Each structure stands twice: as structure tokens, then as C-alpha cells.
Amino acid sequence: MSGTDAAPRRFRFPTALLLTCAALGVAGAVLLAPANWLSTGILATAPLFSVAIAGLWLLPSVIALRLLKKPLVGILVGIISGLVIMPFSGYGFMSVVSNVSWAAFAEIPFLIVLWRYWYTWQHYAGAIVLGLVYPIVAWDFFQLGAQVLWVQIGFFALTLASCVGATALGILIADRLRRAGVGGRR
């Protein structure tokens, strides 16, 4: 190669960005570790109500995406959160898989536009899609087919409300962090 050849373009993760993602991932894990055990307890006693806190798994990634507005930070924070809670959960590596899959729903609305636009509605779009998809994916696990219609509707509504509520909280936290000077200048 000569000195005039251009290097291929790739995603760059500066140290400050990685450290911010690490901090958000660990903070998310501090929230999710007890939420994981609480969810497991609710699942054992009142399974259909366990989704009332399901949106918490979106929270770290929503904060990262809103605060940093960079590609893949939601996934990165999901990986870090999952790795941190892995030894404290009863689910092992599935904690990482779970966190990354929830983070993906937060990231996808931005991926679709190749991270060129960062509108608030995109956060809510990811939350709404997740709130509607999760009950369908978990239909057999929660035996929703054996439930009466109002329980099925309630399960969808509770999941949707949890995801949208956690997203709103994540946006609020990220906006306050930005005003406090976290995340760099825009």
C-alpha cells in the first residue's frame, strides 16, 4: 500500500465512550440484579405480573442511546450489564443473552436509519414493538392460551406499559445526565 491509500471506514469507540458505556452497564447491572431476583419471585407466585418490571431491562440501553447518540452503544451496555449480573443471577450466561436481546429492541429503530437520526419517537417505537412482541414470544411460557381473554389483554397492556414507562424514565435520566455534563457536548 502506498501512503495515499485511504483506510477503510469503521466504527470507532473512543476511550471516553467505552468508559461511559461501562459505567452505564454497571449501573444497569446494579438495578437489574435485584430486579432479576424480584422477577423470578413474582414469576413463581404471580407469573402474569412478572412483566410489570420487564421494561427495566430496556433502561440501561435507552439511557446509553439517548445520552451518547452513537451506533451500537445500546448493545454494548446490554452486554456489559449482562456480564456483570451473570455471577449474581441464577441464569448464568443467559443473563447476557437476555440483556442483549432487550437492548436490541432499543437499538433497532436507530439501526434501521443507520444511526443517522436520533428522534425521541424512535426510542418509543422500539419500546412499543418490544411490548407487543414479547407477549407473543413468551405466549407458551406464560401459558397465555389457557388464560381468559381479559388476562391476555392485561398481559399485553402490562408489558407495553412497562416498556414504554421504562423508556420514558431512560429518556428523562439521559436528558438530566446530559444537562449535568455527562456524555460530552453536542
In order, the DSSP letters of 48-75 are GGGGGGGGGGTHHHHHHHHHH--TTHHH
Does residue 1 carry a pLDDT above 50?
no
| Average pLDDT of the residues in 131-160 | 94
- pLDDT tens-place string over residues 64-100: 999 999 999 999 999 999 999 999 888 889 999 999 9
The residue among 88 and 124 whose pLDDT is bigger is 124
CA-based nearest residue to 75, from 21, 30, 12? 21
Share of the chain above pLDDT 70, in %: 92
**Residue range of the domain that includes 169:** 15-179
Q: Considering the domain boundaries, does residue 32 fall inside one?
A: yes
Residue 89 DSSP label? S
| Average pLDDT of the residues in 1-18 | 66
Q: Considering the domain boundaries, does residue 2 fall inside one?
A: no
Q: Considering the domain boundaries, does residue 161 fall inside one?
A: yes
Q: Considering the domain boundaries, does residue 128 fall inside one?
A: yes
Q: Considering the domain boundaries, does residue 6 fall inside one?
A: no
Q: Considering the domain boundaries, does residue 76 fall inside one?
A: yes
Q: Whole-number mean pLDDT of the chain? A: 91
**If residue 179 lies in a helix (H) or strand (E), which one and from where to where?**
helix 149-179
**What pLDDT is attached to residue 12?**
74
Say how many domains are in the chain. 1
Does residue 184 carry a pLDDT above 80?
no
Does residue 186 carry a pLDDT above 60?
no
Q: Considering the domain boundaries, does residue 5 fall inside one?
A: no
Q: Considering the domain boundaries, does residue 175 fall inside one?
A: yes
Query: What pTM does this model have?
Result: 0.89
